[in-house]
Structure formats: C-alpha cells, structure tokens
Structure 1
Amino acid sequence: MATTSFSPCAAARPPSASSLNRHLDPSRRICLPPHRPLASTAPLRAWGLAATPLRAAPARIAIRCGALAQIGQSEFATEVLGSELPVLVEFVADWCGPCRLISSVIEWASQEYKGRLKVVKIDHDANPKLISEYKVYGLPSLLIFKNGQEVPESKREGAITKVKLKEYLDNFLESTSVA
C-alpha cells in the first residue's frame, strides 16, 4: 500500500506577524480597522510561533476638528438628514494616519464652502451602527447627503488632496444646484 504525503493548504497556514499587525493598505491610502488581539497565544504555539506577550497599544492621538462638528449616532438624524444644506460627512478614526493627513483639507473645505455646504465628522469606533448602515469599509470615507438622502455614487474612500476635494465638491454642488 502506497502512502501519500500530506501538504496543508495555504488557508491552513498560520498568518504572518506582519499580516496580523497591518491595518494600513498603502496601495489605496486608506485605513482598515486594526485586528483585535488574540485572546490566547495557544494557536500561535500550535504552529510553532513564539508566544510573546502582546505589547500595549500606543497612545491614540485625538483628532482635532477645529470649527467642524464631530457628531455621533444621536445627532446624525438632525445634523445630517434634517439639514437644509447639503452635508459632507467624513468618517474618521484617531488611529488612522490618512485621516489625520487630510484633517486640514477638510477644515479648509468647511471654511471655503461655508453657507453652501455643511461639513461634519463621525468617529468610526464610536458609531458602529452608522458604519454598518452606510457600509464604510475604509477610512477616511467621505459621503455627501442632500435632502436627507445619501447622494448616489458620492462615497469616496482614502486620502484626498485639496485640489481633488475642490473638484469633487464643485462638481457635486454644480450638479445639485441645477436640479
């Protein structure tokens, strides 16, 4: 009787340490939520990996909004859905590098379009209901709301330059003022 060798499939291999810790997708310049730490190191020991204790997470840097309103689920209906002006909603997190990178650009937009567009920020970690309802998969995410509805195809994920944000908002404001 011949014996066959067994080779585990790729799905059964343990994840690499870098894939466990990675939460930034550099190709798209968006942040993905960080992986939750393992409850036990037993799976690592089973694969022959070192079971070192988990390091404490670095201190989070809070996002400063300046003149922008940072709202939550309770204010969303009145501030966004009930607004008479179109609303630019930015979903952010304090652990997201690209979110911090574009914060000054979003602040600029709130001043530049004052009276024509309302700009608000929503914290990703504190508002899971809104995250799932509007299918926010990457951060930062921008959505535009008009008359209590999300504007179709207005979602934009990832870091954005001031020039691109101006194009994005100008195109939107021109198309909605005609309608």
Structure 2
Amino acid sequence: MSTFQEIINKPIPVLIDFYADWCGPCKTMMPILDALKDVLKNEVSIIKINVDKNQSLAAKYNVRGVPTLMLYKEGKQVWRQSGVVSKEDLIKIIKST
C-alpha cells in the first residue's frame, strides 16, 4: 500500500477527496468526481480518503469539514476547498494550476 506522500508525488495532478459515509454533500461529490474522471481520464488521479477510517491523516492535513478537496502537483498542495465543487470548476482548477 502506498503512503500518502507517495500518492501525492505522482507526475500527474492528484485530487484528494476527504469524505465521510454519513456526509450528504460528500454523496453529492461522488458522481461529480466520477464524471471528472470520465472527462480527464489519465490527466488526473483521484484519491478518496474516508476521514472516519483515517483520522490521523485528516488531523495532520487540518481537515475540519467534509468534503474537503485538495489538489497536489508534484507533491505540493496547489489548491484546497471544502464543500461541493462542480465538475466544470474542478476541470478549470486542475488545468490552470
């Protein structure tokens, strides 16, 4: 199993979705992220992290609310936002950072 550091150091952008099973807005994000993957295919890696099962990682990255999305490029965080984000906005963010 890869470590978080190995995951975010990929050569392509990595979108991290911190979520919880009980979270309504997180459920709203699921089809958005699926559609994003359909559009961008291998241009982005999307990783979902359950905050209830990974509490120490969520605490380390100061995740206070879910969903929290973070975008990493070459191991550096280039964008972060909590709440639901549209597919169109995510495409713009990924392609512009």
TM-score by length of 2: 0.86
Corresponding residue for 2:84?
159
For 2:33 and 2:94, the matched residues in 1 are separated by 16
| Code of the aligned partner of 2:26 | C
Structure 2 residue 33 is matched with structure 1 residue 111:
no
Corresponding residue for 2:93?
171
Q: How does 1:48-87 map to 2 (within 5 A)?
A: 75-78=3-6, 80-87=7-14
Task: Determine helix, strand or coil for the equivalent of 2:42.
Answer: coil
Q: How does 1:1-179 map to 2 (within 5 A)?
A: 75-78=3-6, 80-151=7-78, 154-161=79-86, 165-175=87-97
Corresponding residue for 1:63?
none
For 1:173 and 1:107, the matched residues in 2 are separated by 17
Between Structure 1 and Structure 2, which shows a larger proportion of strand residues? 2
Task: Provide closer, same or farther for how the CA distance between residues 95 and 171 of structure 1 changes in structure 2, counting only shifts above 3 A.
Answer: closer
**What's the % identity of the aligned pairs?**
29
Return the structure number with greater relative CO, CA threshold 8 A, min gap 6. 2
Task: Provide closer, same or farther for how the CA distance between residues 106 and 95 of structure 1 changes in structure 2, counting only shifts above 3 A.
Answer: same
Moved beyond 4 Å, runs of 4+ = none
Provide, for residues 110-165 of structure 1, a one-character-per-residue CA deviation record: whole Å limited to 9, x for no partner: 121112111110001111121112111111110001111211xx11111233xxx3
Tell whether the 8 Å contact from 2:13 to 2:94 is kept in structure 1 after alignment: no
For 1:135 and 1:169, the matched residues in 2 are separated by 24
Larger radius of gyration: 1
The Cα shift of 1:87 comes to: 0.3
| Code of the aligned partner of 2:30 | S
Q: Which runs of 5+ in 2 are unaligned?
A: none
Q: Which runs of 5+ in 1 are unaligned?
A: 1-71
TM-score by length of 1: 0.49
The CA RMSD over aligned residues, in Å, is 1.8
